[in-house]
Amino acid sequence: MQGPAIFMDISLEDQAQELRKFFKSLGAEISEEKSAKGIEDDLHKIVGVCDVCLKETNENEIEAILNSIVSIMVSIPLERGENLIVAFSQRLGKSPGPKVGLIALQSLWRLYNNLEANSPLRYHVYYHVIELAARVGAVKDVFTGVEHLKKEFSSCPPSNEQMQKLYRLLHQVLKDQNSELASKVMIELLGTYTDENASYAREDAIKCIVTALADPNTFLLDPLLSLKPVRFLEGELIYDLLTIFVSEKLSSYATFYENHKEFVQSQGLNHEQNVKKMRILSFMQMAETNPEITFDDMITELQIEEKNVEAFIIEVLKTKLVRARMDQAARTVRVTSTMHRTFGPAQWQQLRSVLLAWRANVHQAHESMKSVAAAQLEYTAQQQKA
């Protein structure tokens, strides 16, 4: 995505008058004469009809005109900047097709990058950049992640309400393109709520849970339970479903689905995909306490046919959530390590035990090396005396 604005080598007033004449020639309702109120009023009038040029077939001319408008915008103090920026962004949002839409997006992106880093107007431009980028399939060019977004607004952080609005938009445009990134955005959105207003985030919390459950690459769901808006859902079906995915087995999901089929479907969740995910999560849970898992145990616990066991194990290993070796002859899986579905006090205690054992082994190895070194020195001394 291109950045710097293109500036015309004439005065702003003359530039504005040329734009007036151009739009007038296209049939726009605008006078060719400069405004007696000054360049800002000229710009308001021009922005009011700027979408007329989007109907032109000459793409280079459209780009030049939009760049000219941008160059004026970033060159004058805008006392009514927010209204002007919003109006310009809304006009460009009417771009009739993907090619013209991409040109309009590039112009908005130039405007965004040429505003001062501490300008509160950058937020408004960026919001419309995301809207237009979604229309032309270019979101990945203007949004790469939450951390980068925070850096973009570090000099002039938007209000909490503004960021919530932006996160909702980002989640909406990302959920069908990049579910993993959409989940991160939604978690960030829920993190903006406090104990005082968490109860108002019910809809966002439900979206967050559904997005995470539907994402085929998201298996660590335990952190969602610590989010305040999610905790306010305790006692509701969506919360019960989340807790099943966090710590329970496939059999628990099967029972839940049998009793609440319509609810699962109403959330837009795919039952077959849910079962597939719960099988992997249940296998991870089995691997936590069983270094060796038999095929028969998997057939029973995971409700899987014997002919599909080996394919399932390969699928699990591809996720890299579990490290294991399959022994077809012995009909077993030998587990080396697994990611824990939850990480609470029990897991911390287990980690402590592992680290203590590791420290003891290192100490023993160190003492052994000291003994070997001492024996070697003693042997060398005896040889020298001889």
284 vs 320: CA distance, rounded Å: 11
What confidence score (pLDDT) does residue 315 get?
A: 93
User: What average pLDDT is seen over the chain?
Assistant: 87
**Using one digit for the tens of pLDDT, what is the confidence trace for 263-312?**
999 999 999 999 999 999 999 999 988 999 999 999 999 999 999 999 99
Angle at 209 between CA 207 and CA 213, to 5 degrees: 115
Q: So where are the chain's domains?
A: 1-142, 144-247, 256-358
For the segment 229-235, the average pLDDT, to the nearest whole number, is 93
Q: Which of 248, 222, 239 is nearest to 343 (CA)?
A: 222
Asked if residue 139 lies in contact with residue 130, where contact means CB atoms within 8 angstroms, the answer is: yes
Residues β-bridged to residue 334:
292, 325
pLDDT of residue 319 exceeding 60: yes
Using a cut of 0.85, tell me whether the model's pTM lies above it: no
241 vs 253: CA distance, rounded Å: 8
| Fold designation for 256-358 | Arc Repressor Mutant, subunit A (1.10.10)
For the segment 326-334, the average pLDDT, to the nearest whole number, is 93
What confidence score (pLDDT) does residue 9 get?
A: 64
152 burial type by CB count under 10 A (0-12 exposed, 13-18 middle, 19+ buried): middle
What confidence score (pLDDT) does residue 55 get?
A: 83
For the segment 179-202, the average pLDDT, to the nearest whole number, is 87
Longest CA–CA span in the chain (Å) reads 113
What confidence score (pLDDT) does residue 8 get?
A: 54
For the segment 113-141, the average pLDDT, to the nearest whole number, is 91
Q: How far is the CA of 358 from the CAs of 338, 343, 354, 361, in angstroms?
A: 18, 20, 6, 5
For the segment 162-179, the average pLDDT, to the nearest whole number, is 91
pLDDT class of 313 with cuts at 50, 70, 90: very high
**Using one digit for the tens of pLDDT, what is the confidence trace for 139-152?**
999 999 999 999 99
pLDDT of residue 5 exceeding 50: no
Q: At what angle do helices 12-25 and 59-73 cross, to 10 degrees?
A: 140
